[in-house]
Amino acid sequence: MGKSSLLFLFIIIFLGCKEPINKIKEVKLQGKTMGTTYSIIYIDSTQTNYKKEIDSVLVDVNNSLSTYISTSTISRFNQCDSTSEVDEHFVTVFKKAKEVYKTTNGAFNPAVMPLVNYWGFGYDKSNVSRDSFKVDSLLLLTSFGSVKLIEKEGIFFALKHLSKFQLDFSAIAKGYGVDVVGGYLESKDVNNYMVEIGGEVLCKGRNENNQAWRIGIDQPKESSLKRNLQAIVELENAALATSGNYRNFYEKDGKKYVHTINPKTGYPEISNLLSVSILSDDCMTADAYATAFMVMGVDSAKAFINRSKSSSIECYLIYSNDQSQLEDFMSEGLKQILSKPETNH
């Protein structure tokens, strides 16, 4: 279930005809983190540039959750035989991952790290064989429910039952990073902002024109050099995360391998569901459910939303029908804030 889907959401800032409620210009920051890019826009009366501090915050998150850093908290856990001390970032993400794991009946499962590596989407890309017996053996290492957190005198430790058991938080880490940056800005009394990392977005307040932040969702096309918008969502005090397989895949011996690994079968999940966008109060939650819905597929994702009327999430699904034409589905809570571009070419 590795999720490094670089689904570049267009950030659409309209000048509009309304007179801004204030004359304070937006501060705009850009940079790189977590193997992708970030974009941040915020309104601050002091016009303070927080790029240095934000970069430091993101380094701290990476040093906890990145499997590509051998000394990170999660790497040390993956390398240990049974017990490893973990930090606050690990604990927060672990608890949310456990929650979504239970809610989705295992469709979201960070314990697929051995399978992510096996299929060539993790830090270990040395494998070149494809063996069903090997997949079955690796499935024995994906029991996320068996991992425990314990606390001793304010220090947290993660316990695993098998030494080869490994975790991969890439399907939730970018969303968490977005939330952490948002929290940092709010600690500086910045309450109108948009934070985006690799397509995962958190928006609070409004932009400099007193409008909701308008975020575009790409049409899911593999080969298109030009990105066309499928939909536009107006966000105010909400997060949006998108997952899909149409860009993060490879082909070998005439077969297509996508990065979403089904934790129940052990195989890359290929279906007619092309893109999932999840709306939630926080980006970490949205990020996790976006991956879970990709594993579920169209029908199960719709059923999940329909029976979770009180859920804090909303979804927008893009999928192909029997005639290979794009169709979409949106849950009730999105109908007031999601619109279609006038033209799509």
64, two tokens: 């906890």
The number of domains in the chain is: 1
175 domain-assigned: no
For the four alpha carbons of 128, 79, 179 and 144, in that order, the dihedral sign comes to positive
101-115, 148-162, 212-226 — most confident range:
148-162
Strand-pair category, 229-235 with 338-339: antiparallel
What mean pLDDT is predicted for residues 188-210? 96
131 domain-assigned: yes
SS3 state of residue 329: strand
Phi and psi of 63, rounded to 5°? -70, -10
36 domain-assigned: no
Q: pLDDT tier at 258 (50, 70, 90 boundaries)?
A: very low
Which has more pLDDT, 293 or 343?
A: 293
Q: What is the distance between the alpha carbons of residues 87 and 319, in angstroms, rounded to a whole number? A: 39
200 domain-assigned: no
What mean pLDDT is predicted for residues 169-178? 96
The chain-wide mean pLDDT, for the chain, equals 83
Residues spanned by the domain of 132: 62-170
Closest among 43, 44, 49 to 208, alpha carbons compared: 43
In angstroms, what CA-CA distances link 226 with 110, 222, 229, 316, 344? 33, 11, 10, 22, 11
What mean pLDDT is predicted for residues 224-253? 74
12 domain-assigned: no
pLDDT per position as a tens digit, 39-77: 999 999 999 999 999 999 999 999 999 999 999 999 999
Instruction: Report the b/e string of 24-57 with b at 16+ CB within 10 A.
Output: eebbebeeebbebebbbbbbbeeeeebeeebbeb
Here the CATH number for the domain that contains residue 149 is 1.10.3980.10
Has residue 229 got a pLDDT over 90?
no
In angstroms, what CA-CA distances link 224 with 219, 220, 229? 9, 9, 12
95 domain-assigned: yes
What's the pTM?
A: 0.84
pLDDT per position as a tens digit, 96-148: 999 999 999 999 999 886 676 666 655 554 454 555 556 666 666 678 888 99
| Lowest pLDDT segment from 25-34, 117-126, 134-143, 321-330 | 117-126
The pLDDT assigned to 157 comes to 97
Q: What is the distance between the alpha carbons of residues 319 and 80, in angstroms, rounded to a whole number? A: 41
Has residue 16 got a pLDDT over 80?
no
115 domain-assigned: yes
The pLDDT assigned to 24 comes to 75
Has residue 260 got a pLDDT over 90?
no
Residue-wise DSSP of 105-174: TTSS-GGGHHHHHHTT-SS--------HHHHHHHHTT--GGG-EEEEETTEEEEE-SSTT-----HHHHH
